[in-house]
Structure 1
Amino acid sequence: MPAHWKETVTLDGEDFLVRHWGERGAPRLLMLHGFPEYSGAWNDLAPLLAKRFHCIAPDQRGYGQSWRPGEVEQYKTALLVSDVLALIGDEPLILLGHDWGASVAYALAIARPDLVNRLIILNGAHPATFQRELARGGAQTNASQYIHFLRREGSEDTLAADDFARLTALFSANMDMSWLEGETLAGYKAAWRDAAGLRGMVNWYRASPLRLGGANEATEGLSFDAERVQIRCPHLLIWGKEDTALLPQTTEGLEEYAPDLTRVEIAGADHWLHHQKPGAVAEAILKWV
């Protein structure tokens, strides 16, 4: 088994928990989790990549054992990116993101292309294509209606009640959750902790400027200058085909923003592909790199 350790580091004056797999000195692969996860979400995938890479995975701001400010304004994208930039330092690396981690990864690759050699996204969406589908009033608008609930004040209390029953139900959303049991489930619940622990996670939704109407309702979305949101490095998109939370329409036209794009689809996997099919995901990454 590759080496595995964790440490607490100071980023911009605050404490963040960071997990590592592999050997120091190997090419760095930074892994950014999504909602409602934490750095332990990579426990299945990272060991398969650590034979070649030094895998680095933080609990992002508001999650797990990292800094969890309560104020919504502390979760603006620029601040989330700043945390990751402080962790990266001056040397470029390979960046991998899933779900909300994909949003941070895209923003970082756009803002600091000098620090991202390659970009890997697992079931995540570029901000321009995602906003287009959220605003359209179609299938993705309807699939994302849960965002309205999460943005409401006090949603964290509802999610934490009855041993996180509502959060677990939201997590599953008609997808295969057979992997969320035993030590994995215990690890997630320990990371969630309580309603105060969930507030930071939910604040990512509250702070997001992305616009969403009601069910079947088209709305005016944010506009993006295509030239300013380009992904200029090689980009790999790995997609679990059964995802019901993030639909494939959100990746249509991605080549306009990422001309050096490779797409890989994973059958029999959904939004949680890194838990369900870690071997297939690792194989796709290692073959592409």
Structure 2
Amino acid sequence: MRDFQSDFIEANGQRIHVKTAGPDGAPVMVMLHGFPEYWAAWADVAARLADRYRLILPDQRGFNLSSKPEGVEAYETKHMVADLDDLMDTLAPNQTFILCGHDWGASVAYAYAMRHAQRVSHLIIANGVHPICFQKALYAGGPQTDASQYMNVLRTPGIESRMAENGYRRLLNMFEKFSAAPWLNERVKEQYRTVWSQDNAMETMLNWYRSSPMVVPESGSAPKALDITEAMREKYRITMPHLLLWGANDVALLPEANADLDLFCDDLTRVAIDNGSHWLLHERPEVVAAAMLNWLDEG
């Protein structure tokens, strides 16, 4: 987008590509993308907020123009949390900020909010899941377990070459599998192909799945209980005001994946987005932006 400035910031030993917009001195808002996207996942939402907030949209490590360190271990969530912390020490030192995340970006946002609660004034998640709630739903052996089988596929050795075949057809199909994706026109498809064609990008993007400790049982597995203890509630607690935006038609992440979220949050607001799926940032950006502004104004 022409109103976004592009920068490269050294953070936690990585070269992080960042897009920024909005007036200096305005409240800071950080927007984290998921798989298989890049900073522009939030662009249509951000464009509607840029007059009121200083927006920071990074390419997370392994994606697009940011560093792509080798090895699966380099993509453990703790490293992305450290990337973000160092990045914000540079871009907004000694400031609190609003933290937003979608998909894998939500995983990083949750982890950061748990470990650095003093830096986060508000937490906004769009179709993302709290780690304990998600693992409980996966262990249950029901619809969420079935819906998440693709995670095991994406952990398969050598899957990179299959995903890149025929102009990244399988990867593009992930968008269309989870929604009708009318926003995915030929121009947007070509932008994604360019992003995915960066050196080693397919391997490093998929290493997010390989490094995750999340266990996805095979479909049909016997249910396994995951009791949420007081110690777990305290360790994975979200203390700041938290808004969960949920595309009601998401077939990748189902409502059961966040059913227990209230147990971990001091101040949770849920907003369902009708006619929105997993890709609600693209499908309903005006509704997402309005819901964010309404909630922030009320708070």
Normalising by structure 1, what TM-score? 0.96
Partner of 2:114: 110
Q: Is the 8 A contact 2:178 2:278 kept in 1?
A: no
Q: Which amino acid aligns with 1:108?
A: Y
Q: Check whether the contact 2:245–2:270 (CA below 8 A) recurs between aligned residues.
A: yes
| Structure 2 residue 128 is the aligned partner of structure 1 residue 121 | no
Contact 1:2 1:22 in 2 (8 A): no
- Could you tell me which amino acid in structure 2 is paired with residue 152 of structure 1? T
Q: Which residue number corresponds to residue 36 of structure 2?
A: 36
> Does residue 271 in structure 1 map to residue 275 in structure 2?
no
Residue aligning to 1:80? 80
1:129-140 matched pairs, under 5 angstroms = 129-140=133-144
Match of 2:51 in 1: 51
CA contact (8 A) 1:173 1:245 kept: no
Percent identity over the alignment is 42
Conserved in 1, the CA contact under 8 Å of 2:14 and 2:61?
Answer: no
Q: What's the offset of the Cα at 1:141?
A: 0.3
Q: Which residue of 1 aligns with 2:102?
A: 98
1:118 Cα shift? 0.3
Deviation at 1:13, TM superposition (A): 2.5
Deviation at 1:40, TM superposition (A): 1.4
1:166 match: 170
Conserved 8 A contact 1:2-1:47 = no
| Stretches of 4+ aligned residues off by more than 3 angstroms | 218-224
Task: Give the TM-score, by structure 2 length.
Answer: 0.93
Aligned residue number for residue 11 of structure 1: 11
Letter of the structure 2 residue corresponding to residue 110 of structure 1: M
Amino acid at match of 1:62: G
- Letter matched to residue 199 of structure 1: E
Q: Distance in 1 between matches of 2:212 and 2:178?
A: 25
1:153 aligned onto 2:157:
yes
8 Å contact from structure 1 (residues 2, 50) kept in 2:
no
* Structure-1 separation of matches of 2:288 and 2:40: 17
Q: Which amino acid aligns with 2:127?
A: N
Are the structure 2 counterparts of residues 67 and 268 from structure 1 closer, same or farther at C-alpha, using a change threshold of 3 Å?
A: same
Q: State how far apart, in whole Å, the 2-side matches of 1:258 and 1:216 are.
A: 31
- Corresponding letter in the other structure for 2:206: V
Deviation at 1:219, TM superposition (A): 6.1
RMSD: 1.7
How many residues get paired? 289
| Unaligned residue ranges in structure 2 (runs of 5+) | none
Name the structure 1 match of 2:288: 281
Q: Could you tell me which residue of structure 2 aligns to residue 250 of structure 1?
A: 257
Counterpart Cα distance in 2 of 1:263 and 1:243: 15
**Residue type at the aligned position of 1:116:** V
- Counterpart selection for 2:195 from 181, 191, 195: 191
Report the counterpart of residue 175 of structure 1 in structure 2: 179
Do 2:247 and 2:273's aligned partners in 1 also have CA atoms closer than 8 Å?
A: yes
Deviation at 1:173, TM superposition (A): 1.7
C-alpha deviation, 1:10, in angstroms:
0.8
Q: Which moved more, 1:38-47 or 1:124-133?
A: 38-47
Q: What's the offset of the Cα at 1:259?
A: 2.6
Q: CA deviation at 1:186?
A: 2.1
1:120–1:218 distance in 2 versus 1, CA, 3 Å: farther
Q: For residues 226-241 of structure 1, what are the structure 2 equivalents within 5 Å?
A: 226-241=233-248
Of 250-259 and 112-121, the range deviating more from structure 2: 250-259
CA distance in structure 1 between the aligned counterparts of 2:206 and 2:40, rounded to whole angstroms: 19
Question: Quick one: distance in 1 between partners of 2:166 and 2:198?
Answer: 11
Alpha-carbon separation, structure 1, partners of 2:46 and 2:227: 36
CA distance, structure 1, for counterparts of residue 5 and residue 279 of structure 2: 24
